[in-house]
Amino acid sequence: MEKIKVNSSPPFSFNEENLLEAKRILAMYPEDRSKSALLRLLHIAQKQNNGFCSVGVMDYIADFLKIKPIEVYEVATFYTMYHLKPLGKHVFEFCQTATCATVGVEKIIDYTCNKLGIGIGETTHDGLFSIKTVECLGACGYAPMMQLGEDYVEHLTESKIDELIQNLRNQENG
């Protein structure tokens, strides 16, 4: 589990659009069950906060839901879909659980790390790519696989990684 540095984060608040959406979601639950909205609100806040849940984000969500900050920290640090530090624009989240491991995801991860010149949990100097490892993403039949943003990339091979990185770089260069 990553350590959270308390008081190291600027305050956060929802922008107008997200505030409306958060209120809409919150209204779906009974008043004394506001915590049920936590996962969805964290997703919205993370997206607004350049892809990561800072302490400021988590404290704001706790206040918004009228729950204790620790209740938000527990959730945000448990689920790998919440990022606790700034990451690159494209985050390669490799599944490292049994099926993916059996069919060689480790080799694919090593290849990607070498290609990008970074380790797991690191971001390239240009801020474009980060690599994470996560637990089973529920797509075991398509192993080895990873999540990239809101998409799954399946049956990974080294050439697929090459192609993907090249395409993402081309997109950036317009």
Q: Which residues bind ligand FES (CB under 6 A)?
A: 95, 97-100, 136-140, 143, 145
Nearer CB in complex with ligand FES: 45/143 = 143
In 3-state terms, what secondary structure has residue 123?
strand
Burial class (CB in 10 A: 0-12, 13-18, 19+), 35: middle
Least distance between ligand FES and beta carbon 173 (Å): 32
Least distance between ligand FES and beta carbon 120 (Å): 16
Structure tokens at 160: 């697929």
Sheet with 90-95: strands ordered across: 129-134, 90-95, 146-148, 151-153
CB 103 within 8 A of CB 155: no
Strand partners of residue 93: 132, 147
CB 76 within 8 A of CB 109: no
Strand partners of residue 166: none
Nearer CB in complex with ligand FES: 65/153 = 153
The HSE-up count of residue 25 (CA atoms within 13 Å, CB side) is 20
Nearer CB in complex with ligand FES: 84/137 = 137
Least distance between ligand FES and beta carbon 109 (Å): 12
Least distance between ligand FES and beta carbon 131 (Å): 16
Nearer CB in complex with ligand FES: 155/169 = 155
Structure tokens at 22: 């958060």
Nearer CB in complex with ligand FES: 80/99 = 99
Least distance between ligand FES and beta carbon 65 (Å): 31
